[in-house]
Structure 1
Amino acid sequence: MRASLGTVGVISACLFSTSALANSSGITGQSGKDGSTCNTCHSGGSAPTVEISGPATLEPNATGQYTLIIKGGAARVGGMNIAVDNAAAVLQAGEGSQKIGKEITHNGLKAFTNDELRFDFSLVAPASGTVKLFAAGNSANGDYNSTGDRSSTATLDVTVDQGGCSATGGSPMLVFALAAATLTRLRRRQG
């Protein structure tokens, strides 16, 4: 019985350690896409500002370059989680991050520089439709406890531009073509 209790104790300790290490080396499901963020575990610190910088329009199957920017908060070290709502869109990890399943997360704690932390990544657009990027950025105090840290979220809508008759480009061209045809017809009648 003592060996069994000792084994249970060792297994329990390993499970708790694995949970703590998983967060410092990245975790998914915390981007805010499904309502969960890093604040599920991290609390007590001041909230950073988080933004996603990059193109809001991509051509079909094109690759766009994006940056997740975390500013403020505890601003010692941080991490992140990024997801998309379109299964045909593909995220690609940049330096300091890794892809787990269809999401991107940090691959270790990354230090802030001048009160700012940046994670570069790419998005390969689907053949059509839209893509919503969801990101949570955590600003942590670096004491390896979950208190004194806080995350914030950001989203970015990306439109896949089919070209030609899009809502912004096609209508003016159609009006121009109809006007030109009408003027040509009027000139022929007068001449």
Structure 2
Amino acid sequence: MGKSQVLKVFLSSMGPKAPRAGARGKKNDEPKGWKTPTTLTEMRSFHGLVSFYRRFSHNFNTIMSPITNCMKGTKFTWTPEASTAFEEIKVRLTTALVLVLPDFSQPFELHCDASGVGIGVILSQRGRPVTYFNEKLNGSKLNYSTYDVEFYAVVRALKHWSSYLAYNEFVLISNHEALKHLHIQDKLSARHAR
């Protein structure tokens, strides 16, 4: 009689398949085989599944924007832009994500970026990402000026990662020239004060 294996548990995820004891090294390539959604239900299911991974991928919501735009209303509409986004998300889910654990004795770096579609922020240390934050713009935020959207990205990042940044040094890095004068503004607009 051979060896018995009772209650052997494997955790299947995107990436290596791992038993409780450790990684086996075999890659799970399921996302590569995903078919393009053909119904609104399939599209919503895909969106719900991949949304968990947004904190591990830079500009996730901006990339997902064409897909979320297809989900509006009750009629299924799939666009070429949505197909491109679908393929990009599949690639990102099967590519190794390398995040570092935060070291609270070192200063953090907050890299903020914004576009007309969304904001993306990277919290990093020594040039290596700790985590990501992404948000798709909607409603009145779509009408914000470039300065206001960049400012909004900074404020959202500070709120989102307050537990990391409240008592630690950090450097704010933005590619928007006007934000470098933020600390010397005499008066804030009502929107900025909120």
TM-score after normalising by structure 1: 0.25
Structure ranking higher on relative contact order (CA contacts 8 Å, 6+ apart): 1
Identify, as 1 or 2, the structure richer in strand: 1
| Larger-Rg structure | 1
Identify, as 1 or 2, the structure richer in helix: 2
